[in-house]
Structure 1
């Protein structure tokens, strides 16, 4: 069985940094971030880790 991790964010860089190392990425087949248009570096953080980000803007 394959597993996917979907992360929803909006200006959560501090929370993302605190939790990122705790996520066992080796046990996840794919990861996707859906972001609400963060301006605090959240998007860039995930992109730097080669995790795809979909940015939703209203």
Structure 2
């Protein structure tokens, strides 16, 4: 058994606290014009360009 002091392994751990089971975003949103599209699982939103203005999309919960 280990001897010494320090943090034990207890606690809830780190996380965003979003309360979602899937771990992904719901929608992809254009930060420039506000266009929203459904998120495609396995494809990061930043890999999609907005069809209206061409700006990279971002994820939204």
**TM-score tier (shorter):** under 0.3
Structure 1-normalised TM-score?
0.24
**Structure with a larger share of its residues in helix:** 1
**Larger RCO, structures 1/2 (Cα 8 Å, 6+ apart):** 1
Structure 1 or 2: more strand by fraction: 1
TM-score after normalising by structure 2: 0.24
